Homo-oligomer: A and B are copies of this chain.
Amino acid sequence: MTLNSVESKVRFLESLADKTRLRIVEALREREKTVSQLVQELGASQSNISGHLRLLKISGIIKSRQEGKYVYYSLSSSVIAEFLTKLEDLLIAMKREALESA
């Protein structure tokens, strides 16, 4: 495993390892949404959400398109959604294995 590969993995994981950002990504799993929709749905401040969107976009996890005065954000790829599913499966499996060994 090259150092470079480790670093890109860490960057990706860091992008999702935040409660607000993960909630944003989960929300975008349903459909594309505007900033203000996300602000209302998550109950965080607009500048806070905007900052997290910026970070997620830089890391390539989401993309955006402008339509009039609205900016719509969506997942950049279906592989992101697949990864989140895999993460859910993993946590369920870990919990099950922990119970079994108890």
By a beta-carbon cutoff of 8 Å, the part of chain A in contact with chain B is 1, 5-10, 12-14, 16-19, 22-23, 26, 60, 76-77, 79-80, 82-83, 86-91, 93-94, 97-98
Contact = CB atoms under 8 A, between A and B. Distances in A.
Given A1-B23, A79-B97, 15 more contacts: A1-B26, A8-B91, A10-B16, A10-B17, A10-B18, A12-B87, A13-B87, A16-B17, A60-B98, A77-B93, A79-B89, A79-B93, A83-B86, A83-B87, A83-B90
A77 B91 contact: no
Contact of A6 (B8, B10, B19, B90): B19
A22 to B, nearest CB: 5
